[in-house]
Structure formats: structure tokens, C-alpha cells
Amino acid sequence: MKLYFAPMTCSLSPHIVLRELGLPFELIRVNNKTKATADGRDFRDLNPKGYVAALVLDNGQVLTEGPAIVQYLADLVPGNSLAPANGTWERTRLQELLNFITSEIHGGSAPLFNADIPEPTKEIFRQKLFKRLDYLNKGLVNKDFLLGAFGLADAYLFTVLKWLPFFNIDVKDWPELASFMERIEARPSVQAAIAAEEATQPV
């Protein structure tokens, strides 16, 4: 398999999951601006949507969208601890949480990256994001991870919360989330993924 990624983007989540599961893969960097890839392709030929991540399977099929990719990967390793079995109530709860992170944290923070959006408008998005962070912070009281054991949702939430400093938001304002981030970052798979991405050459 090949994982097409860009540093400091949501593609870190499936990268972490690949390493947690011990699956073999090739890491290929994408230039987010030019869409050039380290293996000499136009990334838009793989994913016409133009954004990472994209997972290219050994049979040539291409899968995009982080929550879909990580669930596919988890299902390749039956009995793993990252995701409940497909079709179970517990898996549905995981999907509920992945959708929340996608729409309310990942999507909700996206406007804050946009330099063309006026600051008063951005403040509206910040306040909405703060409410979502309050919700997650309360949910982590007396818990190490979102759903009990470390899983797909934790890798995804860690990935998107890594962006908070870009918005001048300090995760320490949410003590449970701050502790959560420290726990996740200490995992060998996370450290290995971050180091591997930093070691790649710009495209």
C-alpha cells in the first residue's frame, strides 16, 4: 500500500494507524500547493478532490477521506484493539465519534486557516470550536482515551488538535485534552509517524 500525505495535515491520522497495526506501506509526500508527489505524479490524478490523504491499495484501488481509510485499515487486521468489529453497536459509536471529529473539529477549524476570512468572522468559528472542545474535555474526565482503549478516534483527534497553535489556541485551557495530547504523543507509533514525515524531502 501507498499512503500519500502532506506534513501537519489530517493524513497523519491514517499514518499513525498504519504503524499501530504494523501494516507494510510506502509513504509518499505531496506538495499541497502544486499537487506534485514525491513519485512524480500529479496528486489530482489519484484524488480529483486534490487533498490528502489517499491510500493506494496493492490492486490499484484508491481510497480517500481519513475516517474511511482508517476503518478500512483496521478491518484488515481482525481482532485489533483500534476499532470494534464492523456491524456492532460499538463500531457504530466509533463512527459517530469519527463523524463528530470530522464535522465539528476538523471542518469547524478549517475557516481559521483562511487568511481571507475577516477576524470577526473567525471569532465566531473560534467560539463554536471552544464549545466542541469543552464537550470533548468533559468526556475525557477519568478516561485516558475517547472510547476506553486507544483507537482510531484518538489518532484522528490528536491529529486535528495538533493544529491549535496555528490558531493561537492553547490546548492547556482544556486540562483533560492537554493530558490526552501528551499521552498520544508519547506513543511509539505517533513518534515514529511524525519523525518519518519530518524526514521526507519537500516536493
For the residues 38-55, what does the mean pLDDT come to?
Answer: 98
pLDDT at position 104, please? Answer: 98
For the residues 58-76, what does the mean pLDDT come to?
Answer: 98
For the residues 56-68, what does the mean pLDDT come to?
Answer: 98
Q: ∠ CA(65), CA(199), CA(44), 5° rounding?
A: 35
pLDDT range class, residue 61, cuts 50, 70, 90: very high
Other CB atoms closer than 10 Å to residue 167's CB: what's the count?
15
pLDDT range class, residue 49, cuts 50, 70, 90: very high
Q: Which of 102, 108, 97 is nearest to 167 (CA)?
A: 108
pLDDT range class, residue 196, cuts 50, 70, 90: very high
Which residue ranges form the domains of the chain, and what is each CATH number?
2-80+189-199 (3.40.30.10), 89-187 (1.20.1050.10)
Is the distance from CB of 190 to CB of 16 less than 8 angstroms? yes
pLDDT at position 66, please? Answer: 98
Is the distance from CB of 62 to CB of 55 less than 8 angstroms? yes
Is the distance from CB of 22 to CB of 13 less than 8 angstroms? no
Locate 89 and state its grid cell: 453497536
pLDDT at position 116, please? Answer: 95
For the residues 149-159, what does the mean pLDDT come to?
Answer: 99
Task: Report the chain's C-alpha Rg in angstroms.
Answer: 17
Which pLDDT tens digit goes with each residue over 86-132? 999 999 999 999 999 999 999 999 999 999 999 999 999 999 999 99
pLDDT at position 52, please? Answer: 98
- 81 vs 97: CA distance, rounded Å: 16
Looking at the chain, the whole-number percentage of residues with pLDDT higher than 90 is 100
For the residues 183-202, what does the mean pLDDT come to?
Answer: 98
pLDDT at position 179, please? Answer: 99
Side chain identity at residue 197, one-letter code: E
- 11 vs 114: CA distance, rounded Å: 19
Which pLDDT tens digit goes with each residue over 7-20? 999 999 999 999 99
pLDDT at position 73, please? Answer: 99
